[in-house]
Structure 1
Amino acid sequence: MASFPSTICYLWVLSLLCSCLWFEFGAAYSAGAPVTSCSSMKPDHGSPSNNPSPFESLPSQTEIFSNESVILTIQSSTSKTFKGFLIMGFDAATDSVIGTFKVDLSQGQSQTLKCFDTYDTAATHRSSTGKKSVTIEWIPPADFEGVVIFKTTFAESKSTYWDKKISPEVKITRSDTAVSSTIDPLLTTEKPAAPNVYEECGISKGCIATPSGCINLKTCSMMTTYQKSDEDYLQLEIYGQITGDEYVAVGFSTDRKMGDDSVVECVNNRNTLKAYPSFNTLDKSNARIESQQLPGFNLTSSAFIDGFIHCKFQYPIRYTVNGIDFDLSQPHYLLMASGPTGDYNIQEHSTEESSSSSLTITTALNIQYFTEASRVLKQLHGSFMVIAWLMAASVGMLMPRYMKKTWVGKKFMKKDLWFVCHQGLMVLAWTLTMIGFIIIFIDVDGWVSESVSENPHPLIGCITTVLAFIQPFMALMRPMPNAPNRYIFNWAHMLVGYSAHILAITCIFLAVEMEEAELPYETYWILTAHICCYVGAHLLLTYLANRNNKNPGAVSKEGPPKDDKGSSLRKGILAGYVCVVVGLGIAVIAFIAGA
């Protein structure tokens, strides 16, 4: 019979398996449909149901103009709820994907998806909670005329879904209404001509853009231009690719990080173009400010043509915002971002860029390009945690459990070999965990702004780090092996260690869902294989230990101590296990390095 501690250990291992597999399975719908589902509109799990769908998507109108939008209600027609969905708009004549979606992120039910390299062409769920109804907005392409249908895939559970259910048709008539461009108090009603923002770059004005080399090719996705008008004012241009109600903004900062920055926004909201001055606070929020705080700030022209927004305006060189003096004749970093906008403020950016060095934009007339933010610290953080918990800890925690009667009598620096292996691996795991914890805080500049419900990874990571941190100090205070209270240490050391391990593996699973990680879906399967290997090794070694307890064999009373029965098999299992977990860990690190 297995001892009681063996049973507890077994239950902890099963908890690890269940919790991690829950996240793997939940990933099928908890964070929304992956981009890989755009073509088929089918999830990577389960099979389509042959029963009539209890869910439907209904447009608020069946006829609209091309400069209007339609509200779609994704709902259940019965008492059932759906956990996930994916919806796209299609031209009924060509069956091509058209239009863009707009969602209210504050409701936490839906989000847009970038399908076919175009932002917001699809909408999907944001959480796995059961839903009776979700409302989203769809915006047709400019000047489109024809019939649109919406195809929706509904996931009731991991195993049951209905794919490509078609909505009632929506007829769209081309609108002849011109798009207006406004900023209080300036208002223009003529449809603007396409601006040549690339003209005079590097000659009479400075230009900074992305991606690299795009100015000569005239293929930039975002760009800011600047030139000095007189001693008091600059002429600035903001240019960028957007979809629907979105913005492009430029900020002036004393460093490459967001906080205490002066910002100017070029916004398309409800087919109206506006420009606003605003300010990034230290807590990484953004608030618009009154135009009066920037004397001379004036929008001179704006346009939204072929998916690109352009704002040209006069901007003061010296001004004060929120008690901070800005003098753009001194070097500043330029930060550019784009993302969704609301009626009263811009929302969190989906794209961001920063200049590699500070610029004096009153005198700089050269061409420069934004440099992509370095991912080295994020990649180091992920790699260190994989080495620490998928490799070192996963092997090190087997040693005291199953290898005490292996390599009997063999010592290194007067310590049993199994203990040296255990201690060395766990010290490695501890060291990498602490380093990884520190560098990710440096990279994100403190705590993240997301709530725990949106992203539990940081909180669970902190708990894991605290548990890992106290482990070696507990070990230093352990009583002698024969001490009467030794069992208290054994239990505490085991519970804290297994808790940290379970949380660490869970945290790695959660990281795959994070947009910043940029990890492929296949990472889930590698992590699942690791869990299966870990549990399998525990079960097999536990079985061998229990068999030896029932049949201990003859005990030699003479000569040096020998390995327990079955030590060769245990060594073989350990060697195979090490090869597998190291190989799987290297595969995950390769994904991290390639992200």
Structure 2
Amino acid sequence: MFTRHIIPCVTILLYPWFAHAQTGSTTETNSIIDIWYAKPSRAKCGTEYGCFSDPEVCEFTQLESMNNLTTPLCQIFLLHRQNPKDKNKIDFYLERKGIKENDSKNKYIALGLGPTKVMAGSSAIMCMIFGSGNNAQVLNRYNKGYENQALPIEDGKLGLSDTKVELVKDVDSLNTQKISCKFTKDKTLGNDKVFKLISPDNKKARLKRQDNTVPISTTTKTSNQSDTNLEKYHLILVEGNMNDNGEPKYHAQRKPHVSTQKFALAQLLINSAVVMGGHLSSIHILTKLHGIFMLIGWIFLVSVATLYARHLKLFCPQKTYCGGLKLWFVIHRSFNILAVILIIIATILIFVRIRGWSYNPLYLPNKVPLAHSITGILAIIFAVIQPIIAYFRPHPGVSVKRITFNWFHRLIGTLGLLLAVASIFLATKFTYFSNNDFIQSILKLMIAAVFLYGTAEIILWSIHFVRAYYIRNKHDKNKKSYDLTNLDGNNTNYVASNPTDVPVTPQNITAELKLNNKWELIKFAIVNLLGLLLLGLLIAMIVQLARA
């Protein structure tokens, strides 16, 4: 009898100091560990506490996983329950398993409470381990867009108590560690960035909460709290590293694990074996569509349209299409019009997604988003004004107005393309993309696309200058020149630089025309080969962005 009652009590009393001595972990409280989470079990989910895990159906310990061979070991999980001493508080426990010892420094795990299925606009309770576990904190933070913000110290600790973070050896796995994090959250304390679990019962709040709440039948009530003033959120489990300044990096190791439905944590015990979550992309669908449309518009359509106008005006000059238009103009105009449409749609999508201009220097110390926004907006402006100024272009000829238009049109087009490419490169350098393998693959594909485009331009301009040198040399030698812009077999448009020059015959013109066509055919092949390569790279980039 003595051993049955005394030994467990001694173990409970000594456990906090024993664990601390074994691991060197840091805590923020001197309170004794409540053993409600000390031996988590899937069998207790939905009854003694709520559970949310990744994978959805998994075991919390290796022993239980071995007993049930079809169920894997959880990688990260959340437990929550009604605090037994205070009905206005909820106890939470987060655990991340399988952290390699060489990757255990400066880590964090977090619980996000989101109005939507993404981290943007969510309140996060972050459990942060600094260094090798010598310092730790549990703090409220807020995600403005995809930038995680630190809050003033009074908000950072608002509603949180009995916090404890540990980096300990994971007994369920060899040579790995785990982060365990315990905290208690007050249901009623919060603000616009620290979300409450219960809000005042008013008409506006009730209307806001008429959403896809989880049916009670799949969960267990924790209290008799009225449904009318419960706040409901998507649960988001996140992990990642922190930088040298103690700021969380993008969660690159694993995508956020997000509940497919909203939960009222103040009332319900969740059982994720019943109510499934899922790996949802951390990049919103509208953001992806914005990127896809911009890539199609700038990298393929504008690039090919520019090359046709710049290098293929003399290709098949006698053939016309679409009511007397030359091939280069048909491609140039149709591709650019389609590109402008896609660019405008992409712009609308991203403004809808971020609800306007998102940059705020108080919230985004990283200047990359600002640079992306500025270069992107300038590129969009240039793209939109191009068809407008083209509509008012002077008639073809050698007038001053036409020459001025040509140079202005070229300058605006070139600047727009350069700014767009710079903006795309900047987008891949966003903080929350820095460790995303799919986005980094897009960066490599973009580098390849720019290299191919630059190489094609060098080759095409080399052909232009070599041909110009060849023609000038030949004409200087023969003291004659040809105007091949109006070859009809009768009007040779011969211009003699010397009265004694030999008249040009149709045979001379035919030979010159054949040589000219060879040069143009080579350029045509290069431009189209580049177009096919850019199309291949574009498809690869779209696939990577869709998977990100």
Distance 2:122 2:302 in 1: 43
Distance change in 2, residues 1:560/1:332 (3 Å): farther
Which residue matches 1:308? Answer: 178
Distance change in 2, residues 1:254/1:526 (3 Å): closer
The amino acid of 1:436's aligned partner reads A
Alignment of 1:206-355 (within 5 A): 206-211=50-55, 213-215=57-59, 217-229=71-83, 231-241=87-97, 243-258=104-119, 261-269=122-130, 271-272=133-134, 274-280=136-142, 282=144, 284=147, 285-287=149-151, 289-290=153-154, 294=158, 297-299=161-163, 304-306=168-170, 307-321=177-191, 326-328=196-198, 329-340=230-241, 346-351=247-252, 353=256, 354-355=258-259
- The answer (yes or no) to whether the contact 2:382–2:416 under 8 Å persists in 1 is yes
The amino acid of 1:463's aligned partner reads L
The amino acid of 2:179's aligned partner reads I
Structure showing greater radius of gyration is: 2
| C-alpha deviation, 1:239, in angstroms | 1.5
Distance change in 2, residues 1:383/1:203 (3 Å): same
Is residue 570 from structure 1 mapped to residue 513 from structure 2 by the alignment? Answer: no
Q: Give 3-state SS (helix, strand or coil) of 1:359's partner.
A: coil
Is residue 421 from structure 1 mapped to residue 331 from structure 2 by the alignment? Answer: yes
Answer with 414-423 or 516-525: which moved more: 516-525
Distance change in 2, residues 1:572/1:380 (3 Å): farther
Which residue matches 2:309? Answer: 400
| C-alpha deviation, 1:280, in angstroms | 1.3
Distance change in 2, residues 1:340/1:560 (3 Å): same
For residues 52-93 of structure 1, the C-alpha deviation after alignment (integer angstroms, 9 at most, x for no partner) is xxxxxxxxxxxxxxxxxxxxxxxxxxxxxxxxxxxxxxxxxx
Task: Give TM-score scaled by structure 2 length.
Answer: 0.63
The amino acid of 1:533's aligned partner reads A
| C-alpha deviation, 1:431, in angstroms | 2.3
Which residue matches 1:365? Answer: 270
Q: Give 3-state SS (helix, strand or coil) of 2:458's partner.
A: helix
The amino acid of 1:267's aligned partner reads M
For residues 372-429 of structure 1, the C-alpha deviation after alignment (integer angstroms, 9 at most, x for no partner) is 2265555544443343333322221233334334333524135444322211111122
Is residue 390 from structure 1 mapped to residue 260 from structure 2 by the alignment? Answer: no
| C-alpha deviation, 1:493, in angstroms | 0.6
Distance change in 2, residues 1:202/1:460 (3 Å): same
Alignment of 1:165-176 (within 5 A): none
Q: Give 3-state SS (helix, strand or coil) of 1:265's partner.
A: strand
Distance 2:247 2:278 in 1: 22
| C-alpha deviation, 1:580, in angstroms | 3.2
The amino acid of 1:428's aligned partner reads L
Q: Give 3-state SS (helix, strand or coil) of 1:314's partner.
A: strand
Q: Give 3-state SS (helix, strand or coil) of 1:298's partner.
A: strand
Distance change in 2, residues 1:341/1:467 (3 Å): same
The amino acid of 1:253's aligned partner reads G
| C-alpha deviation, 1:494, in angstroms | 0.9
Distance 1:360 1:187 in 2: 28
Alignment of 1:456-535 (within 5 A): 456-482=371-397, 483-508=399-424, 515=434, 516=436, 517-519=439-441, 523=445, 524-535=447-458
Distance 1:560 1:309 in 2: 85
Answer with 527-536 or 538-547: which moved more: 538-547
| C-alpha deviation, 1:495, in angstroms | 0.8
| C-alpha deviation, 1:226, in angstroms | 2.3
Q: Give 3-state SS (helix, strand or coil) of 1:399's partner.
A: helix
Distance change in 2, residues 1:511/1:297 (3 Å): closer
Aligned residues: 420
Distance 2:26 2:240 in 1: 19
Determine which structure has the larger helix proportion and give its number: 2
| C-alpha deviation, 1:341, in angstroms | 5.2
Is residue 412 from structure 1 mapped to residue 322 from structure 2 by the alignment? Answer: yes
For residues 436-465 of structure 1, the C-alpha deviation after alignment (integer angstroms, 9 at most, x for no partner) is 344445556654636346995444333322
For residues 75-124 of structure 1, the C-alpha deviation after alignment (integer angstroms, 9 at most, x for no partner) is xxxxxxxxxxxxxxxxxxxxxxxxxxxxxxxxxxxxxxxxxxxxxxxxxx
| C-alpha deviation, 1:521, in angstroms | 7.3
Distance 2:241 2:127 in 1: 12
Q: Cα RMSD (Å) of the superposition?
A: 4.3
The answer for unaligned runs of 5 or more in structure 1 is 1-174
Which residue matches 1:593? Answer: 543
- The answer (yes or no) to whether the contact 1:452–1:459 under 8 Å persists in 2 is no
Distance 1:485 1:520 in 2: 42
For residues 516-569 of structure 1, the C-alpha deviation after alignment (integer angstroms, 9 at most, x for no partner) is 413177533454233212331333245446656755367546499999932364
- The answer (yes or no) to whether the contact 1:402–1:545 under 8 Å persists in 2 is no
Distance 1:588 1:390 in 2: 7
Distance 2:379 2:91 in 1: 51
For residues 20-54 of structure 1, the C-alpha deviation after alignment (integer angstroms, 9 at most, x for no partner) is xxxxxxxxxxxxxxxxxxxxxxxxxxxxxxxxxxx
Is residue 580 from structure 1 mapped to residue 545 from structure 2 by the alignment? Answer: no
Task: Give TM-score scaled by structure 1 length.
Answer: 0.59
Distance 1:560 1:197 in 2: 94
- The answer (yes or no) to whether the contact 2:112–2:122 under 8 Å persists in 1 is yes
Q: Give 3-state SS (helix, strand or coil) of 2:78's partner.
A: strand
Distance change in 2, residues 1:377/1:567 (3 Å): farther
The answer for unaligned runs of 5 or more in structure 2 is 1-19, 60-64, 66-70, 171-176, 199-229, 476-480, 494-508
Distance change in 2, residues 1:474/1:343 (3 Å): closer
Distance change in 2, residues 1:579/1:518 (3 Å): same
Determine which structure has the larger strand proportion and give its number: 1
